[in-house]
A and B are shown apart, each in its own frame.
Chain A
Amino acid sequence: MNLPAEQTGDFIPWEDADAKPIIRFQGVTKKFGDFTAIDNLSLDIYEREFFALLGPSGCGKTTLMRMLAGFETPTSGEIMLDGQNIAPVPPNKRPVNMMFQSYALFPHLTLADNIAFGLKRSDMPKSEIAGRVDEMLSLVQLSKFGSRKPHQISGGQRQRVALARALAKSPKLLLLDEPLAALDKKLREETQFELMDIQEKLGTTFVIVTHDQEEAMTVASRVAVMDHGQLVQVATPEQIYEFPNSRYVADFIGDVNLIEGAAKSVTKDAAVISWAEGLPDINAAAPEGLAKGDNCCFAIRPEKVSISAEKPTDAANALPGKVLDIGYLGNMSTYHVELGNGQIIKAQVANQRRLSRRAYTWDDQVWVSFTATAGLVLSA
Chain B
Amino acid sequence: MSRRFSWFNATSLTLGFVFLYLPILILVAYSFNQSKLVTVWAGFSTKWYGELFQNQAFMDAAIVTLKVAVVSSTIATILGTMAAYVLVRLGRFKGRTLFSGMIYAPLVVPDVIVGLSLLLLFISLGMGRGVTTIVLAHATFSMCYVSVVVSSRLVSFDQSLEEAALDLGCTPWDAFRSVTLPIIAPAVISGWLLAFTLSLDDLVIASFVSGPSATTLPMKIFSQVRLGLSPEINALSTIMIAIVTVGVVSSSLLNKRATVRRLRQEQDALKQS
Residues on A lying within 8 angstroms of B by beta carbon are: 69-71, 90-92, 96-98, 100-102, 104, 106-108, 117-118, 121-122, 151-156, 158, 165-166, 169, 182-183
Contact present for B163 and A102 (CB under 8 Å)? no
| Closest CB pairs A-B (n = 7) | A155-B273, A118-B168, A121-B169, A151-B265, A104-B164, A154-B272, A104-B160
Chain A residues near B60 (CB, 8 Å)?
none
Other-chain contact of A118, B169, B179, B265, B269 (Cβ < 8 Å):
B169
Tell me the minimal C-beta distance from A149 to chain B in angstroms: 9
Q: Is the CB of B169 within 8 A of A92?
A: yes
Per-residue CB contact flags for chain B residues 112-152 toward chain A (1 = under 8 Å, else 0) read 00000000000000000000000000000000000000000
Please give, as numbers and ranges, the residues of chain A lying within 8 Å of B179 by CB-CB distance: 106
On whether the beta carbons of A121 and B174 are closer than 8 Å, the reply is yes
Q: B51 at the A/B interface (Cβ < 8 Å)? A: no
Q: Describe B's contact surface by its main secondary structure.
A: helix
Q: What per-residue 1/0 map shows which CB atoms of B150-183 lie under 8 Å from chain A?
A: 0000000010110111111111001000010011
Q: Which residues of B contact A102 (CB under 8 A)?
A: 158, 160
Interface size on B, residues (CB 8 A): 21
- Nearest Cβ distance between residue A179 and chain B, in whole angstroms? 13
In Å, the complex CA distance between A107 and B156 comes to 14
Q: A155 contacts which of B165, B166, B168, B269 (Cβ < 8 Å)?
A: B269
Question: Does A156 contact B160, Cβ atoms closer than 8 Å?
Answer: no
In the complex, chain A residues whose CB is within 8 Å of the CB of B160: 100-102, 104
The smallest beta-carbon distance between B163 and chain A, in angstroms, is 6
Q: Decide: A158 and B273 in contact? CB cutoff 8 A.
A: yes
Q: Which residue of chain A is the closest to B159 with respect to CB atoms?
A: A104
* 26 interchain pairs, CB-CB under 8 A: A71-B163, A90-B166, A96-B167, A97-B168, A100-B160, A100-B164, A102-B158, A102-B160, A106-B164, A106-B179, A107-B183, A108-B183, A121-B169, A121-B174, A122-B169, A151-B268, A152-B268, A155-B272, A156-B273, A158-B269, A165-B164, A165-B168, A169-B168, A169-B169, A182-B273, A183-B273
Asked whether A91 lies within 8 Å of B272 as measured between CB atoms, the reply is: no
The interface centre, meaning the residue of A104, A153, A169 with most chain B CB atoms within 10 A of its CB, is A104
CB-defined contacts of A100 to chain B, threshold 8 Å? 160, 163-164
Q: How far is the CA of A165 from the CA of B161 in the complex (A)?
A: 13
Report B177 CB to chain A, min CB distance, Å.
12
Q: Do residues A91 and B167 form an inter-chain contact, with CB atoms below 8 A?
A: yes
